[in-house]
Each structure stands twice: as C-alpha cells, then as structure tokens.
Amino acid sequence: MQACVSSKEIVPRMILLKIGGSVLTDKARETTINEANMCMVAQQIANTRVSKLMLVHGAGSFGHPQAIKYLSEGFSAQGIWKTHAAVCLLNTIFIDELQSKNVPALPIHPLDHVIVDHGKIVEFNLVALQLMLENNVIPVIHGDVVMDRSRRFSILSGDQLVTHLARIMRPQKTGMGTDVDGIIYEGKTIRHLTPTDFERYRAGITGSGNIDVTGGMLHKVSELIDLAKLGISSQIFDATKEGNIARFLAAGNDLGTTISAE
C-alpha cells in the first residue's frame, strides 16, 4: 500500500514572525479581538508547515490601554498584574485559535523569562523556548510588562523581542506583520530600507495612529535597523491582507518593506 503523503510542504528552516497587536485586536476598542483577522492568521499558519517557527505577538488593545491606565504613575504590582493579565488573555485566545486548527502552539510569557535594565533585555532564559522548538512546538511569545533592574519594571515590546530573538536564534527569515503595507513615505511603500536611508526617511516615520505605548512604526523600524546593522535582514508587511502570512512563510521576499544592511 502506498504511504500517505501530506500535501503540505514542510519548509526546512527556522522562521521568526511577529504579528502586530494591530492585526489580532481592534486597537481602538479596549480588550477587543479582531476575530476575522485572528482566524485568518491562524488558518494561514495551519496551512503552511515550517519546520521551526517562532511567533511573537503584540499587545494591541490587550495591554496598551491597561499600561496607560494602571502604570502611568509608576511601579505597582496591581498595575503590572492588570497589564500582564490582559496580554496573557490575548495570548491564550490566540493559542486556542491556533490549537483549534491543529497548530502545536504553546505560550512563553516574558514576565517569567526576561529581565531588562533601563528597558533593554539583559537576560532571556530560552531553555523552554528551545525545548519547544526541539519538540516541534511553536512558541508564542508576546509583548509584556517585565521586571527592570534599574527602573523596577518596564514595558517590553513585541518588536524588541523580535530583535533579541533574531540576534540569538539566527532564524533564516524574520518578519513583522502589521496593519500597513510597510514603511510608507510620501504615500508610497518604501520597498527597501538600509541604515543609511533610515536617516533620510526618519522624520516621515512616526508612532502609531492608535493607542500604542511602545512607539508604533518608528520603534519597529528602529529595532529592525539595529538588526540590519548586525547583518540580519527582515520584512515589515501587511498581515491584515489575506494570503500575505502564507506568502511570507512559504517563500515571499517581495512583501512590504525589506530592511537590510545594504
């Protein structure tokens, strides 16, 4: 009898993908999932098998409004809990959606694994993440509130986590899915950005059009420019557009903006 062959092509490489809070949630409404987008994102991940995939997601309306409400005055265990609990809820809902489509996803919560100093990651215990990858599990990490050696606590963005993980794990491909086509300058998408170009375009790149305590597009691009300087290229693309995540995972290097050293 002929062996049953899966129709899904397994892409033999490691990919790091961040899905923005702007994709998975309605950033204009506190604690509101964008159900259509979440379902569409999970389906594309389910349809495209990658041998090693690390997912990061932002907090969207499950974290940014809570940080403003409960952490503006400074350190408070209650404020940290309210913000952390909100983003953990988003993480749980996203993992439920992935698991319902037979995607072997499990959570990694930065509050438990990461220490920062002046907002910068100084320790990230990657043992659980590495063991998950070895067991063909997809770790799903998220922007979070974490303990800071100097400032007591800091908000750690999903964008910072991408830079750190790309630097340490050296995936073959790194991408950030957001709610715009890439970096827009004078109404057009910049197809390719280098650290030198960044200085020229910087003034046209700002924060988020929505509530985003971590600095929107300018923060995202700054993180990816730091990565490009280390020789790691990445893409920013529109993950709200059906098919783009599948294209990114399968092959596509032609989406949105590519950021690289040269």
Largest pairwise CA distance in the chain: 68
Does position 194 interact with ligand ADP (CB under 6 A)? The reply is no
Spatial contact of 78 and 70, defined as CB atoms under 8 Å apart: yes
Q: By rule CB under 6 A, what count of residues binds ligand ADP?
A: 20
Window of 42-50, 76-84, 91-99, 216-224 that interacts with ligand ADP by CB under 6 A:
216-224
Spatial contact of 152 and 115, defined as CB atoms under 8 Å apart: no
Residue number with the smallest Cβ distance to ligand ADP: 20
User: Tokens for 92?
Assistant: 């749980």
Nearer to ligand ADP, 11 or 240 (CB): 240
Spatial contact of 23 and 177, defined as CB atoms under 8 Å apart: yes
Cα(64)–Cα(158) distance, rounded to whole angstroms? 12
Reduced to 3 states, what is the DSSP secondary structure of residue 261?
Answer: coil
By DSSP bridging, strand 152-156 and strand 144-148 are: antiparallel
Does position 148 interact with Mg ion (CB under 5 A)? The reply is no
Does position 217 interact with ligand ADP (CB under 6 A)? The reply is yes
Q: Which of residues 193-222 bind Mg ion (CB under 5 A)?
A: 212
Does position 180 interact with ligand ADP (CB under 6 A)? The reply is yes
Does position 209 interact with ligand ADP (CB under 6 A)? The reply is yes
Which residues form the interface with Mg ion (CB under 5 A)? 212
Residues in contact with ligand ADP by the rule CB under 6 A? 20-22, 58, 60, 178-180, 183-184, 204-206, 208-210, 212, 216-217, 220
